[in-house]
Each structure stands twice: as structure tokens, then as C-alpha cells.
Structure 1
């Protein structure tokens, strides 16, 4: 109102530069308030303006109170320039509040989407720690089962396909696998090319059920591949190799940009080698996994393959 009345900047009646003015405003008392001559505007307007400068916020007039006072002064007359200005200020304040609420809602929605994406990329327990800016400490798991699978003849399929067709093929296959693992107590660790890695017992500890959950999932995946067809090569009958091993492992988050939940230990290496030396369309399990399966249930049929040399390990 002081700017409107005097047609000048705030505190124009003082000969202060901006730094001096800010210093005096910050270090009150004494209070610094604009000074408007009595003949610069109607007395009532100046009184309302000064009342809005009260030090105690509860003594200041609200927009609606100011609007009412101006109406009284104008005896109900409309189209007064000050009244129009007050109405515009009131409308702007209301619109600004609506805009802030709208932007806050949009920000909340985007934050929710980001959290959901992070929950899909990392285990929920780890994702929550990251969102809380807490440090992720590596964990050691004494009992878990690791699953690896890859596609037999993938190089041949890739050679007969365009890069886009390879991407579409892997996306179709892994989407099928992802739907299957939703029905089991397992966690998809990652995909590397045509390799698919899953853990059971990590990060969620489920007792001795991890071997059974991984085995049931492997049977479902093997069954699904018998009916799966490559869209651009429908005549190909897809076959995969599967390796499963049980033991201990260490899990942790690696990296800050695009963080990855990684597993480390001989259990992971052994499961990978079991898959590499496996037979197409067969599930290759280690003696440790076999022992856990026979301990927990009798519903699995296992056939001894023979002695297989895996570097320093001998797997039956």
C-alpha cells in the first residue's frame, strides 16, 4: 500500500542503501516502518496501513478485515481503485495457495513413483534405508540357495536376429520368468545377457525352505520354456540350463549411481558353474541342495549325474 500511495519503492523515505536497510530491519529495535505523510492518502487508509505493520502478528488485519474496512469507508460504493487492488491481492493469495497445494500433490505423486521404482530395483528393506539416507551395511547369510539359468544356443539365436529382436526376445522371456517368481519366496538378483540369477533366503530369511522354494521355481520356469516361442523365430524350441547350489553368501549394495544389490561368495560361483556344466532342459543341483530337499520334503525326484569337476570343487 505504501508503494501504491507514494509510487516508489519500499522505505523510499529513508536515505538508506539496501544493505543498511536490511541491517536495521534485522536488528530491531528500534522498529523500522515506512513513513507516509498525512496528506498523501485518506487518513483511514493510512491508519489501516499502519495497523498492518503491527509488530505482533495477531494485531494485524486480515485481508477480509481490510476489505470490510474499505467497504465502510466507501459506503458500499464499488470500483474503488484501492478496493480493486485489495480484491486482486486476495484472489492472488487464494490462487497461490491452490497452486502450492497442486504442486505439493504433484511432488508427492512423483516421490511415490520414485519410491515404487526403487522398491522394484532393490529389496524393500534396502530401498527404505536408502530413502532414509542411512548407510547400507553388507550382510552375511549362513543359509541360502542360488539359482542360475541361461539359454542354450543363445549365440545362434542372436546371430539370426537383429539387436532389436534380441532385446524383444529377452524381454518377453524375462517377463515370463518374472511372473513365475512372484509365486515363490525368492528374490530376482539380476539378469546378465541371457543369464538369469535368483536367490532364496536372501535378503529375506526363510529358514530351511530356501532350497525347496528355489527348486519349485526352477520346475515352473523349466515348464514355461517348453511352451515359450520366440516371436521372430517361432520354429525354435527354447531350451535352458539351470544350476542350483545352497550355502552361505554375503549381500550388499554396490555403487551410488544406479546402485546394485550384489551377492558374493563361493555359493554364487558354484551355482554359476553348475549352470555352465549343466545339461539342456535339466536342473543341475549340488549335493548340498539335494540334502536340504530330501530333509524338507520327499516330493522331488533326483537322479545322480556323476562326478563333475568344477575347478577345486567336486560336485555330484
Structure 2
């Protein structure tokens, strides 16, 4: 009987260790998925999705969209751009290759302030290029193409958690 009891106790200890290890792995994977979710979506939308709520399409009457294309491809520049965005009421939608897309007035409505925010950010981007150096081409100047448009936007998010 002691043998059976010891076997069961050993088995229970092994299972407890497995459960603890799997729980730790699950927590790490959840952290990774949260980081990805918050990188891809505005915080307000990500928060709703995490709570299991659906996100309905929403019309934003007054929004300005910014899109730039780095003429001389440099990934290091995005770190600089990200720090500039942090001081403006702007949301980075996506980086696609050497292109950088962001908006103001969505997801946080800000009246007509979105125009000023995008223009101010754009000027800060251009100003930052004056001191930006390409490590392997220190004498080359980085050029940036910028497009800006203000209009109504309908935001629609497909519920990716279904």
C-alpha cells in the first residue's frame, strides 16, 4: 500500500510541476500576444477586445492622415519618428517597408486639432532629418516624401478574436 501511495504522491508532484511550467509558458505567451495586440491597434480598441467586447464601425468626421516614404531606406529613422510621435496627439497605424502611416483625430477625437498635430509632427520629422546621419553614407542627405490629407474616415475593425 505504501508503494501505491508513494507512486501517487510522485505522480501528483510531477503533475504539479507540469502545471506550474505550463502556466508559466501561458503567461509568457499572453504577454507576447498583448504586446502584439497593442502594437497593431489603438489602446481603446485593444482594451475592448481583451474584455471580449465587439468593436463597432465608427465614423470620424474630422481626421488627418499622414503617410511618408523614406526615399533612402533607413530603419533606424523610425526610432526617431516614434519618439516624435510620443509628444503629439498622433496614432501610428503601421510601418510598411520604408513607409510610415499615422493619423490624428482617431482613435481620440480632437476637433480640428488633428491638422495642427500632423503638420507639427511633419515639421519635426523634417527638422530631425537635418541631424540624422546615415552610418555608412555620412555625406548623403536623407529625403522624405510626405503626403497629408484631411477628411472623414470610417473605422472598421473585423473582430479577429472570433
Q: Same fold (TM over 0.5)?
A: yes
| Partner SS state of residue 100, structure 2 | strand
Question: 1:214 Cα shift?
Answer: 1.8
The equivalent of 2:35 in structure 1 is 116
The equivalent of 2:133 in structure 1 is 229
1:103-124 CA distances to partner (integer Å, 9 max, x unpaired)? 1132122112211211111112
Counterparts of 1:254 and 1:101, CA distance in 2: 35
Task: Tell me if 1:214 matches 2:128.
Answer: no
Counterparts of 2:69 and 2:8, CA distance in 1: 67
Kindly indicate which of the two structures has a greater share of residues assigned to strand: 2
For these two proteins, the number of residue pairs brought into alignment is: 161
The equivalent of 1:163 in structure 2 is none
Question: 1:97 Cα shift?
Answer: 2.0
Q: 1:253 to 1:234 in 2, by over 3 A?
A: farther
Question: 1:98 Cα shift?
Answer: 3.3
Is the 2:40–2:93 Cα contact (8 Å) retained in structure 1?
Answer: no
The one of the two structures with greater contact order (alpha-carbon pairs below 8 A, sep at least 6) is 2
| Partner SS state of residue 22, structure 2 | helix
Q: 1:105 to 1:191 in 2, by over 3 A?
A: closer
Question: 1:132 Cα shift?
Answer: 4.7
Task: Tell me if 1:105 matches 2:24.
Answer: yes
Q: 1:103 to 1:255 in 2, by over 3 A?
A: closer
Question: 1:235 Cα shift?
Answer: 1.9
Counterparts of 2:69 and 2:9, CA distance in 1: 67
Q: 1:99 to 1:143 in 2, by over 3 A?
A: same
The equivalent of 1:198 in structure 2 is 102
Task: Tell me if 1:148 matches 2:52.
Answer: no
Give 1 or 2 for the bigger CA radius of gyration: 1
Q: Structure 1 stretches (4+) deviating beyond 6 angstroms?
A: none
The equivalent of 2:47 in structure 1 is 128
Counterparts of 1:88 and 1:189, CA distance in 2: 56
Counterparts of 1:254 and 1:86, CA distance in 2: 53
| Partner SS state of residue 156, structure 2 | strand
Question: 1:208 Cα shift?
Answer: 3.4
Is the 1:186–1:199 Cα contact (8 Å) retained in structure 2?
Answer: yes
The equivalent of 2:157 in structure 1 is 253
Counterparts of 1:200 and 1:256, CA distance in 2: 24
